[in-house]
Amino acid sequence: MKEISATVYSELQQVNLTYQYTYGENTTDKYTPLNVGFGITYVLPIIVAILKARPDDLLIIENPETHLHPSAQSQVAELCAIASANGVQIIVETHSDHFLNGIRVATKKNILKAEDSQIYFFRKDKNELETKIDKLNIDSEGRVDNWPKGFFDEWDNQLDELLW
């Protein structure tokens, strides 16, 4: 360690760092960083930004799914849908089918109106320099129209490999 580290301590040092959240009169238990995943530290600023946003605000969020369990990804999508339904414009760049499906379910549950969301899929075809943009819509039942090849189809691709 001495060869690769700038400083080596010969004494054992201990730091007691804990996370605890308080909202109003409610306070969580204390958690050490060992008991809190990376996801909470990544998504907390996103959640705060969404909760602080007012109608007509614009939020641009990149990969809100990072380090989150699939069910948490869906819940963040629902929170985005609620904020959007209340007048906050949100642009999300995501690679998560769980996030997309969370928006679809929120639409089916009438949390978000179908006409208040829009999907753009950016792709490059082989041997082409120009990026193609597909515009997709979510209907009131949460269905996506015009599902292009390459758009959240990796689950099916891998399943086909396993089955056939």
Cα–Cα distance for residue pair 111/103, rounded to 1 Å: 9
Cα–Cα distance for residue pair 121/135, rounded to 1 Å: 7
Whether residue 142 has pLDDT greater than 60:
yes
Cα–Cα distance for residue pair 47/80, rounded to 1 Å: 9
Whether residue 4 has pLDDT greater than 60:
no
Q: What pTM was estimated for this model as a whole?
A: 0.77
The number of CA neighbours under 13 Å toward the Cβ of 146 is 10
Span 115-141, pLDDT tens digits: 999 999 999 888 888 999 999 999 999
Neighbour tally for 80: CB within 10 Å: 25
Tokens 């641009």 sit at which residue? 60
